[in-house]
Structure 1
Amino acid sequence: MPPARDNQPMSPIVTPQQAHDRQRAGALLVDVREEHERASGMAAGAVACAAADLAETFGDPGREIHVICESGLRSARAAAALLERGYARVFSVDGGTRRWRADGLPMVVPEGDADFFERYSRHLRLPGVGVEGQRRLESARVLLVGAGGLGSPAAFYLAAAGVGLLRIADDDVVDRSNLQRQILHGEARVGQPKVRSAAAALSALNPRVRVEAVEERVTSANVDALVDGMDVVLDGADNFPARYLLNDACVKHGKPLVYGAVHRFEGQLAVFDAGRHRGSQPCYRCLFPEPPPPEAAPNCAEAGVLGVLPGVIGLLQATEVLKLLLGTGETLAGRLLQFDALAARFRETRIPPDPDCAVCAAGREFPGYADYARFCTA
């Protein structure tokens, strides 16, 4: 018999076989586990009910009630609480559903989406996610620009997490030199468009996720259509014209932008949410009003990059996307996180909004898209 807590009465214990026999004689069997736990199977004939609702649901204090959970701990607490509320015939099933199943007693699988509860069971246990949050992820829409070093790990984990739609835009093809870091792709898909390779890999990982493969370079002509309807934009581009374009489009459309960049052994990321928070949050231009000269910021093909570094930054970008979609935690909005892989050190820098920013200043009308290629090489 489990020990009582404080002044709580101790609940009598019955074996699963005893509970089953009494259930057949008219006793009520109540499963107090969470919905995602019951999805894999529950004792036949049991009624699903959250522990907090037991007293309100079963109003007859003289009714014989048997409470079952996964292992017997929660059911003992729930049964003790019912005894304290005046229910006289309450029993906890020893060993819970695990022992019920092991003893060969009848089980049923509740109707519903079993794949959802099994696939996301670890998310469903989290207080910041749960069933409601996971359903929110399933209805979410994310634009990923770039299916390369940053987009690969970000897309993999966003798909695994259950983001409902991933729109991936990239006009490049898989090259053998990509495979050192772009983990969405494999040897067999060298020469294929990256977005098609990405769609194949992500669909194999999680067929519940819909992937829109957009085999195009992001330009001023198509960026509005790409951003339209998205909840979050993830910047996995490796060039400054695309970064400034995405920033300006996200300010215009009021979308949060999750920025990331890598160079040799160093990476950085931030969340720019000025479109929804004019005057209180910065945009990318508040941090970098003008791009550096091309010779000061070569791309990965020119400067090289440690293969695992985009993995670190891409995973952190995916983390920020999930926090934004779930509305939980503190995002990197207004903060630049820099990572030095050789020193294994992170450094954080605050980014204040620029009251004179050409794009996101409070009250300023959107100036229109610039000639970003010329702007970034001037």
Structure 2
Amino acid sequence: MTDDMGRDEWLAALRQRVPEIPATDARVRQLAGALLVDVREDSERASGLPEGALGLSRGFLELRIEQVAPDRQGDILLLCGSGQRSLLAAEALQRMGYRHVSSVGGGMGAWKAAGLPVTAPGLDADAAERYARQVRLPQVGEAGQARLGAARIAVIGAGGLGSPVLLYLAAAGVGHLTLIDDDRVERSNLHRQVVHADARVGVSKADSARMALLALNPRVAVRVVVDRLRAENVEALIDGHDVVIDGADNFPTRYLLAAATRRLGVPLVYAAIERFTGQASVFDPRREDSPCYRCLFPEPPSAADAPNCSEAGVLGVLPGLVGLVQATEAMKLVLGIGQPLVGRLLTYDALGMRFRELALHRDPHCPGCGPAARFDGYVDIERMCASAG
């Protein structure tokens, strides 16, 4: 708008260049396949947005429109609060080469006045601000954030792997975290178990982690279980969860988890670390093609062949990287996006800074999921691991 041109004249000139349509017509075209984009800010959309509309703030429109509307010949409708920002947004898209762009006259006010459907906001003002950068991802959006908020994830262990897993899942807004650990914080833990603090040495790891998680995101519900996973409690503790994350440091727990998650039909996100190396995979019993943990390790190795961190040592940053792989896989499973590490074993060598991916197939002779597999009870699994140790 120039200094010698009044606002009305400027708007009139803009409307000559940008088609403007009534809200009722916009709804008809939306139902016929047009993309309706609400260009208001996240805080404005917190009170609701047109049903089926994509929320994409005006300031990010040019940066992200190609991700959701790669076809420049498609029918695109833009809506704002009163109909002025959408005119400017439509003009910007025209300059980008979009040929069929229209502005909804009167914006959201006209939409509501016409009695057209409005979707109640999935996020309140705090959540809209807290998760704004994540919600802007087309693969997440408000619907995905709501799925994360409703998700229940059990994390076994609040140690090296569990620390980054817990911190990032809580930060991402996973609504219900169950943390199972019977250990206490030691000073020797702190170089890698970053969810804890020096002031909490001697406190149970589960309680220490809960303090850190609620300080980071008080919206998350954290249930702590200060107990060890055993034959008599494994199913009761993990039943009802959407994903289970294995952050354990011993084979009895891993074999119990493998059996229980398979019997309950819950995906298991596995990882292990030693010295300078780590590995991760996803075992999903809901998929017929998914191997299980015992396809990888049919029987537990001896303690000499698989020493724990206290015996072999570990580079402090290693569990951070591998744990983040676990957190990423868990979020992908909840959101239903991407390609999970099912049938793949990801290995990492910190000294060489190399990742390798190995194919992991179902073993037809697997004692855990093969045709001849039999379940004799969790107590027998504990005995098997004890005899190997």
**TM bracket, shorter-chain basis:** 0.7 to 0.9
Give 1:189's aligned residue.
Answer: 200
Tell me what 1:125 maps to. 136
What residue in structure 1 maps to residue 43 of structure 2?
40
Q: Secondary structure at the match of 2:378?
A: coil
Contact 1:169 1:195 in 2 (8 A): yes
**1:249–1:54: structure 2 CA closer, same or farther, 3 Å change rule?**
same
Question: Which residue in 2 is equivalent to 1:242?
Answer: 253
Would the aligned equivalents of 1:235 and 1:258 in 2 still touch at CA under 8 Å? yes
| Cα distance in structure 1, aligned partners of 2:122 and 2:303 | 59
Where does residue 276 of structure 1 map in the other structure?
Answer: 286
Q: Structure 1, residues 291-342: CA drift from partner, whole Å, max 9, x if none?
A: 2111111100111000000001000000000011111000101111110000
Q: TM-score when scaled to structure 1?
A: 0.77
- Once the two structures are superposed, the pairs formed by residues 154-169 of structure 1 within 5 Å of their partners are 154-169=165-180
TM-score with structure 2 setting the length: 0.74
Secondary structure of 1:294's counterpart equals coil
2:320 is the alignment partner of 1:316: no
Q: Please give the alpha-carbon distance, in whole angstroms, between the structure 2 residues aligned to 1:352 and 1:300.
A: 28
- Is 1:77 aligned to 2:77, yes or no? no
2:313 aligned partner: 304
User: Hey, what's the Cα distance between the residues in 1 that align with 2:359 and 2:304?
Assistant: 27
Change (3 A) 1:147 1:73: same
Name the SS of the counterpart of 1:358 in structure 2.
coil
Q: Does 1:144 align with 2:155?
A: yes
Q: Kindly state the Cα deviation for residue 141 of structure 1 after the two structures are TM-superposed.
A: 0.2
How far 1:67 moved relative to its partner?
3.3
Whole-Å separation in 1 of the counterparts to 2:49 and 2:273: 54
Deviations 1:110-156 (A, max 9, x none): 99611111111111111111111110000000000000000000010
CA displacement at 1:68 relative to structure 2 = 1.1
What displacement does 1:368 show? Answer: 2.3
1:347 counterpart (335, 345, 356): 356
Q: Which runs of 5+ in 2 are unaligned?
A: 12-19, 24-35, 55-74, 108-120
Shift of 1:357: 1.8
Unaligned runs of 5+ residues in structure 1 are 2-12, 20-26, 58-64, 93-109
Matched, 1:135 2:135: no
The residue type paired with residue 254 of structure 2 is R
1:203-249 C-alpha deviation (Å, 9 max, x unpaired): 11111110001101001111111111100000000011111110110
CA distance in 1, matches of 2:227, 2:170: 21
Partners of 1:54 and 1:82 within 8 A in 2:
no
Deviation at 1:18, TM superposition (A): 7.2
Aligned counterparts, 1:1-378, within 5 A: 34=38, 38-41=41-44, 50=53, 54=77, 66-68=83-85, 72-74=88-90, 76-77=92-93, 113-273=124-284, 275-278=285-288, 280-362=289-371, 366-376=375-385, 377-378=387-388
1:272: Cα distance to partner?
0.8
SS in 1 for 2:222: strand
1:330, 1:86 → 2: CA distance? Answer: 36
Assess, with a 3 A threshold, how the Cα gap between structure 1 residues 47 and 200 changes in structure 2: closer, same or farther. Answer: closer
Tell me the distance in 2 between the aligned counterparts of 1:111 and 1:305: 42
In 2, the alpha carbon distance for the partners of 1:90 and 1:78 equals 17
> Identity over aligned residues, as a percent?
50
How far the C-alpha of 1:370 sits from its partner, in A, is 4.0
In 2: Cα distance, 1:86 partner to 1:166 partner: 45
State the SS of the aligned residue for 1:323: helix
The one-letter code of the counterpart of 1:265 is F
**Paired residue type of 2:343:** G
- Structure 1: how far apart are the matches of 2:281 and 2:209? 24
Change (3 A) 1:338 1:80: closer
CA contact under 8 A between 1:235 and 1:259: conserved in structure 2? yes
Q: From the superposition, tell whether residues 111 and 171 of structure 1 become closer, same or farther in structure 2 (CA, over 3 Å).
A: closer
| Residue identity matched to 1:143 | A
Aligned equivalents of 1:347 and 1:118: distance in 2? Answer: 37
Off by >6 Å, runs of 4+ in structure 1: 16-19, 27-30, 46-49, 78-87, 89-92
Summarize the Cα distance change of 1:86–1:360 in structure 2 as closer, same or farther, 3 Å threshold. closer
In the alignment, which residue of structure 2 is the partner of 1:96? none
State the one-letter code of the partner of 2:208: S
The SS at the match of 1:225 is helix
Post-superposition Cα deviations, 1:56-99, rounded to whole Å, max 9, x if no partner, equal: x9xxxxxxx83315x94456438999996899x9799xxxxxxx
Conservation of the 8 A alpha-carbon contact between 2:93 and 2:101: no
Q: Distance in 2 between matches of 1:234 and 1:111?
A: 27
Query: Cα 1:75–1:366, aligned 2, differ >3 Å: closer, same or farther?
Result: farther
